[in-house]
Structure 1
Amino acid sequence: MSLSKCCIQGFEWHGTPSGRISKLANSNTYITGDNPNAAILLIADLFGRTFANNRLLADHFAREVGATVYVPDFFGGEVIDSQALAEEKWEQFDFEGFMQRNSRDIREPEIVECARALRRQYRKVGAVGYCYGGWAVFRLGAKEHHDNQHQTPLVDCISAGHPSLLTEKDIDEVAVPVQLLAPEMDPAYTPELKLHTFQTLLKLGVVFDYQHFSGVVHACLVRGDEHVPGEREAMVRGKNALVAWMRHFLKEA
């Protein structure tokens, strides 16, 4: 499992997010949409809930899926300066320290608590994770987090876009429908891990949708350049695939 410089490269999009700021569990959260029955928990990449791209994606999902979308802060209030994204001043960013402060072990309890809060409120809940959020949605979909008394999963389905920090064990333990949005060139979601995903989910009999994006790199689905034809096509196709996936599994709400 890995994170690398590619996880903090890309482009910031133009647009004005339309949501609001409130709380989910104890986390400051960007919220958009108003469906009282269906929710999506969006676990963002390293740029978090304040990044315009993540909010604009959440707005798209709220409108096109017909769900209330939540983008909580899972980085303890830390924000990566998006200006550094434009200027590529990565030497100013304490990447190692950021990851130590926001490790899987530290953040997983908060992520699970937010999903539990949504499960208590909504009939249907989906989870979406990009980059850093990729490992987290697999954990939310793990059988470990099912309500065994009522045979209810913590989330009804998951979608992971170019996941980082994902392990074979995470894949082995997933027990809900899984969608993977996978760029061809991705040092974080390696060919070996992709193969393990295929082999394992086939054995588990989990409903599985794998979307391959040829010719593009890690992070293109959330920080691609809209002026580059291949990246723009990947962003649009990735968004549309996720919308169709969530609409299918949240449609009963």
Structure 2
Amino acid sequence: MSFSSCCLKTFTWGGTPTGKEVKLANNNSYVTGDNKDAAVLFIHDLFGWKYNNIRLLADHYAREANVTVYVPDFFGGWVVDWELVEQDRFDKIDLAGLLRDNSREIRGPEMEACAKALKSEHGFKRLGAIGFCYGGWAVCHLAHKRHEPKLVDAISMGHPSWLEKADVENLAVPVQILAPEIDPAFNQELKTFTFATLLKLNLPFDYVHYPGIVHGSLVRGSEKLAKEREAMASAKNSAVAWFKEHLH
């Protein structure tokens, strides 16, 4: 099978995003898809809203789940040096500054404003949210039981970071967890707690385990490594199926 035909069935590595840039609430945002009733708010990871794979994933979700996908910038214009991340040279990145400038207190209200705008101003009847790494805690923030009416109708999170037990304990909507086996941010203790807590909350949930896969690979998995290629495609397909079930 050729590389191009494989990508058609999995994930389009190196492709060109098909959406456009707009404003959502007060945030710059990438948008793709044309469904007027169902939308997904995609909260990016460390790579930010302009990272090609993030936008290509958004295109896949829009096309395959029949939703309109928005990817707002929640880093205030800051963009990480993608080459440093891909080389795992995190010591060259100001992670302390990232934490300081993009805390829950700073970005949480922006995320809420974007979710509210999609339902109130744009008129979407159903809204999902998906987030990887940094976006993991964020989608839980949007799914918190304190929001009335609910901001989102279902969430999906992949290899979440900054996640706290209280985030899980206060979930109020169906949740999907895409969980690589090797993940210091979403470690075994937190995985076990999440699974047990969701059972107690009696929420619909989908837990997908990826043996041998490391944190980050569901967004920046390499097409050259079979296990990462398959895991990234599988995670994309799982998210598509989740949103098709809960947003239509």
Q: Same fold (TM over 0.5)?
A: yes
Corresponding residue to 1:206 among 196, 203, 207: 203
Q: CA deviation at 1:176?
A: 0.2
Tell me how far apart the structure 2 counterparts of residues 37 and 17 of structure 1 sit (CA, whole Å). 22
Tell me how far apart the structure 1 counterparts of residues 62 and 88 of structure 2 sit (CA, whole Å). 31
Q: Any conservation in 2 of the 1:119–1:155 contact (CA below 8 Å)?
A: no
Tell me how far apart the structure 1 counterparts of residues 131 and 92 of structure 2 sit (CA, whole Å). 26
Q: Following superposition of structure 1 onto structure 2, how do residues 38-77 of structure 1 map, counting pairs within 5 Å?
A: 38-77=38-77
* Equivalent residue number for residue 235 of structure 1: 232
SS class of match (1:57): helix
Q: Following superposition of structure 1 onto structure 2, how do residues 1-253 of structure 1 map, counting pairs within 5 Å?
A: 13-120=13-120, 121-147=123-149, 153-251=150-248
SS class of match (2:198): helix
Tell me how far apart the structure 2 counterparts of residues 38 and 231 of structure 1 sit (CA, whole Å). 30
Determine which structure has greater relative contact order: mean sequence separation of CA pairs < 8 Å that are 6+ residues apart, divided by chain length: 1
Letter in 2 for 1:101: D
Tell me how far apart the structure 2 counterparts of residues 127 and 146 of structure 1 sit (CA, whole Å). 17
Structure 2 runs not aligned, ≥5 long: 1-12
* Equivalent residue number for residue 10 of structure 1: none
Q: Any conservation in 2 of the 1:160–1:179 contact (CA below 8 Å)?
A: yes
Tell me how far apart the structure 2 counterparts of residues 157 and 85 of structure 1 sit (CA, whole Å). 30
Report the TM-score when normalising by structure 2.
0.92
Tell me how far apart the structure 2 counterparts of residues 91 and 210 of structure 1 sit (CA, whole Å). 32
Tell me how far apart the structure 1 counterparts of residues 164 and 86 of structure 2 sit (CA, whole Å). 31
Tell me how far apart the structure 2 counterparts of residues 216 and 207 of structure 1 sit (CA, whole Å). 25
Tell me how far apart the structure 1 counterparts of residues 133 and 63 of structure 2 sit (CA, whole Å). 23
Q: CA deviation at 1:14?
A: 1.0
| Identity among equivalent pairs (%) | 54
Q: CA deviation at 1:91?
A: 3.5
SS class of match (1:61): helix
Q: CA deviation at 1:105?
A: 1.4
SS class of match (2:146): helix
Letter in 2 for 1:49: W
SS class of match (2:84): helix
Tell me how far apart the structure 2 counterparts of residues 42 and 218 of structure 1 sit (CA, whole Å). 18
Tell me how far apart the structure 1 counterparts of residues 138 and 170 of structure 2 sit (CA, whole Å). 12
Deviation string, structure 1 residues 10-29 (Cα, Å, up to 9, x no partner): xxx41111110000000000
In structure 2, relative to structure 1, the CA distance for the partners of 1:199 and 1:77 (3 Å cut) is: same
Q: CA deviation at 1:118?
A: 1.0
Deviation string, structure 1 residues 15-57 (Cα, Å, up to 9, x no partner): 1111100000000000000111110000000111110010000
Deviation string, structure 1 residues 101-145 (Cα, Å, up to 9, x no partner): 111111100011101111222001000010000001111111111
Report the TM-score when normalising by structure 1.
0.90
Letter in 2 for 1:105: E
RMSD across aligned positions (CA)? 1.3
Letter in 2 for 1:206: L
Structure 1 runs not aligned, ≥5 long: 1-12, 148-152
